[in-house]
Structure 1
Amino acid sequence: MRLVLAMAIGLALPGTPGTAADPQELGPAVMLDHSARFEVDGPTGPLVVQVRWPATAPPPEGYGVIYAMDAGWTFGTLCDALALQGSVQAAGPVRSTVVVGIGWPGPGLIDLDRRGPDLVEAPGGEALVRVLSDTILPRIEASLPVDPAHRMVLGHSYGGAFALRAGFARPDLFSHVAAGSPSIWTDPAALGAPPPGEARPKVLVTIGALERPEAALAAGERLERVARLRSRDMAGRVESLARDLRTDLVEFPGLSHGASATPFAATAVDFLWR
C-alpha cells in the first residue's frame, strides 16, 4: 500500500532506482592513515606524489619501497596487496613497504592527455627519469628510511614502459623493476634490454593472455582491437624482452591488457621480496 501511494502522488521511496541522491549525506570523506600527498614540477606540468607508509616501525635496514608510475591504475591495489601479503597470517616473504604513487592532478591521479608525453614520448620520458631520481626519491627517502636492496620502480602499460626506461637508466638506484604489459612498441630501441655485462636490476615482466592477437580473436574481442594488438606486437615484444633478460614472462590467463593490472600489482609485491 505504501509503494502504491508513493507512486500515485509522485514521491520516491529511499533506495528507489532512478531517484536523485546526494552521496555527501553519507558522511565525511575517508582519509588514509599514514599517508601524505605533495606536488612536484614534471616535464609538462605539475605531478602529484601520493605516499602510504607502514604503521609499523621500520626494520634496521629500512622499509622496502615501490615507486609506482601512472599510479591511478595501481596505487590502491598495491596498498591492499601489501596489507594482505605482508600480514602475520600470510607468513610469506613480504615485509614492510612504502608505496609512492606518481600521477597527475585531477581524478584518481590519471590524466589521459599527459600519460604519453610524460611517460613514453621524447623528451618527456627522459626528463621524468630525472625528476624521479633527483627530486621525488630524495624527498621521500629524507623522511622515510628505505632499504636500497628493495627499491622498485613499477608501472603498467605506459607506466611499464617508463619503469623499464628508469630501471635500465639508473640500476644504481633501482634494485627491482616491475613492468606490467609494458608498451614497448612506443620506443622499441630505447626500451630493450641493456647489453650483456651491463648492470641491470631484477626485472618482472607480465602480460595478459588476451594481449595475444589469436587469443583475443578467439575470445570475441573487437576486430579493430585484434588488429591493433597485431600491429603493435605487444606480446611478441614482451616475450623477446623477457628472453633477452633471461627472466620468466608471467602470463595471466583469460585477462586483457587493462584487466591484468590487478594481478600484476599483487605479483610485483611478492617479486620485490623474493
Structure 2
Amino acid sequence: MTLNSLNSNKSKFKAIALSLFTLLTGCYTHTILANSNNQQATFTSTAQQITLHSSITNKDYLIYIASPQQAAPSTGYPIIYLLDGHLTFSRAESLANNLIEQGIIKPIVIVAIDYQEQWLTFRAQDYTPPHNSTITNDPFIKGEENGGGAEKFLKFITTELKPLIEQKYNIDSQQQALFGHSYGGLFTLFTSFTKPESFQYYYAASPSIWWDNKAIIRESSHFINSQKTYNKPPQLIISVGGLEQTVPTNSPAARKEKLVKRNQVTNAKELANLLSKDASTKLHTRFFIFPEQNHGAVIPFAIQQALTSFFSNPPSHH
C-alpha cells in the first residue's frame, strides 16, 4: 500500500499520523498509514492517534482525532468529544465525512477518548458519579465497586485534554459537544448537571440512569434547584432504543431480570420530561426514541443525530 494509493481529493479530513493502526468497530475498518516525518497527508478516511497520560486519573488514554482539511473559520472549528472511542470514533468520522461532503453539517473536529487496556473496568471507574456502597450489591454490574470517578474524569477532559486539543487546532469555544452512550450517557448527564458550562451541546444516548438507585435523578434535582442562570442555556438530547426494556422471549431469566430492573426507556423519558418541565431556562432538553433498536444498535443513529442537531449547516433552530 502506497501513500499515493490512499490520497483522495474528496477527503474532508487531514491526518498527522503517528503510527500504523486499524480501528475495528463492527461497522467500519479504517487503516491509517504512518508518516514518520510528521508531515500532513490526505486520505479517504483519516485520523490521528495519540496517547495521553492523566495526572488526575493516573490513567493512559488513547485519543483519536480527525480534523477538517480546509482552514478553520474565523470563530474556529466546532468540535465533538466522544466517549468509548473504539465504538464511536470510526462511525462518527465516516458519518461526518459524508455529511460534510453533502453540505449538511459544518466541518468539525472529532476527538474520541479510549483506553489502552481494561476498557470495561476503566470506563466503569471514569464514567460513573460518586456513589454509595449499595451499588456493589447489584448482581448485574461489574467493576462499579471501583467507580465514582466522574469528577476526576471530567477534570481530565477540561484541564488536560481540552487544552491540548486547543493548542493544536483553532476551536470554537461556543460550539463544543460531548457524546456518550450507556455509562457514557450517564457521564454526559452528570457533566450537564454539575459543570454545564463545560460544553454547549450534550448528547446522552441510552444513559444508565438506573445506576446507583438512580443517583443521577438526585443530581438533576440539585441542578434544577440551583441558582445558576444562562444567557444561552446548553442543549441536551436524551435518546434511547425502543427495544431497550423489551424482553425477548428466548432470553435467559437473568437477562430478563436485568432489562426489567434497568427500565431504560421509562427512566430516560421521565428524566427528559422532568428537565423540560423544571429546568427549561437552564438546559434545553429534547428526547427521542429510536424504534425497533436495542441498547447497542442505537449508537450510529445517535451519533448521526448528534452531528446533524448540533452542527447543521446552516445551524438548525430548535
Deviations 1:172-229 (A, max 9, x none): 22000011001111243335532066455200111111113xx3346x5444323212
CA displacement at 1:146 relative to structure 2: 1.1
In structure 1, the residue matched to 2:247 is: 216
Q: CA deviation at 1:76?
A: 0.8
- Paired position in structure 1 for 2:50: 37
> For residue 114 of structure 1, what is the aligned residue in structure 2?
122
Q: TM-score, normalised by structure 2?
A: 0.69
Deviation readout 1:203-258 (Å, 9 max, x if unpaired): 0111111113xx3346x544432321211222121111111222332111111101
Alignment counterpart, residue 234 of structure 2, candidates 201, 215, 227:
201
In the alignment, which residue of structure 1 is the partner of 2:307? 269
Amino acid at match of 2:247: A
1:75 aligns with 2:89: yes
1:149 counterpart residue number: 174
Give the distance between the partners of 2:66 and 2:75, measured in 1 at CA. 19
| Equivalences for residues 119-198 of structure 1 within 5 A | 119-122=127-130, 123-187=148-212, 188-190=214-216, 192-193=219-220, 194-195=223-224, 198=228
Question: Which structure is higher in RCO with an 8 Å CA cutoff and minimum separation 6?
Answer: 1
- Structure whose CA Rg is larger: 1
| Structure 2 alignment gaps of length 5 or more | 1-30, 34-44, 131-147, 277-284
1:243 to 273, 283, 297: 273
Is contact 1:35–1:50 with CA below 8 Å preserved after alignment? Answer: yes
Report deviation, 1:44.
Answer: 5.3
- CA deviation after TM superposition for structure 1 residue 121, in Å: 4.9
> Given residue 32 of structure 2, which amino acid in structure 1 is its aligned partner?
V
Q: Secondary structure at the match of 2:292?
A: coil
- The aligned counterpart of 2:100 is 86
Q: What's the % identity of the aligned pairs? A: 24
What secondary structure, in the 3-state scheme, does the structure 2 residue paired with 1:227 have? Answer: helix
* TM-score, normalised with respect to structure 1: 0.79
Paired residues of 1:47 and 1:103 also in contact (CA < 8 A): yes
Deviations 1:103-143 (A, max 9, x none): 1014xxx7112111121153411110111111111111121
Tell me which residue corresponds to 1:49.
63
Query: What letter matches 1:40 in structure 2?
Result: H
Contact 1:71-1:155 at 8 Å conserved across structures: no
The answer to whether the 8 A contact 2:190-2:216 is kept is yes
2:260 alignment counterpart:
230
CA distance in 2, matches of 1:224, 1:254: 22
Letter in 2 for 1:239: K
The residue number in structure 2 matching 1:10 is none
For structure 1, the residue ranges without an aligned partner over 5 or more in a row are: 1-28
RMSD of aligned Cα (Å): 2.1
Contact 1:209-1:254 within 8 A present in 2 as well: yes
> Using a 3 Å threshold, how does the CA distance of structure 1 residues 176 and 237 change in structure 2: closer, same or farther?
same
Offset of residue 160 of structure 1: 0.9
Paired amino acid for 2:206? S
Secondary structure (helix, strand or coil) at the match of 2:197 reads coil
Whether 1:98 and 2:129 are equivalent positions in the alignment is: no
2-structure distance, mates of 1:155, 1:225? 23
Contact 1:148 1:173 in 2 (8 A): no
**1:75-113: CA deviation from partner (whole Å, max 9, x where unpaired):** 1111111111122xx242x1011111111014xxx7112
| Secondary structure of the structure 2 residue equivalent to 1:139 | helix
Kept in 2: contact 1:208–1:251 (CA 8 A): yes
Q: Distance in 2 between matches of 1:100 and 1:248?
A: 24
2:14 alignment partner in structure 1: none
Counterpart AA for 1:138: P
